[in-house]
Amino acid sequence: MPAPRRVEVNFFRPSTRNMRREAGVAWTILAIWAALSFGIPLLIWLAGLTDPGKLGRSFMTDTIFLGFPLHYWLIAQGCTIGYVLLCKLYCSLWDRRVKPYSTVSGKSPRW
């Protein structure tokens, strides 16, 4: 039995077209995840810097959204909903950009 062909996988420099598609989907999801995880808290923190009393009050702490202060809702519920939508986006991107090219003659690849 011949030795299996060795394939080198590099996330930063994908070698095949399909690997580039897979890495593109992963990079897209990572960028949106970073924006959710770090962007929203940074936005809340930056808005709090405008308080002359140095207590962190801003329009985000004064605005009530669905019965909660906006800053609390964005972190507690907004990010959670964003992560669930991110999972849906990942699946739809994978199905649209990667899955059609990963089958050979209608058969699923053998792993």
The whole-number pLDDT of residue 108 equals 53
End-to-end CA distance of the chain: 17
Q: For the chain, give the percent of residues with pLDDT over 70.
A: 89
Round to whole Å and give the CA distance between 36 and 42: 10
pLDDT at 109 (0 to 100):
52
- The pLDDT value recorded for residue 83 is 94
pLDDT for the residue 61: 87
Contacts of 104 (CB under 8 A, 6+ apart): none
How confident is the model at residue 18, as a pLDDT? 81
pLDDT per residue as tens digits for the range 11-38: 888 877 888 888 889 999 999 999 999 9
Residue 82, number of CB atoms within 10 A of its CB: 17
DSSP 15: -
| Residue numbers of the chain with a pLDDT score lower than 50 | 105
pTM of the model: 0.72
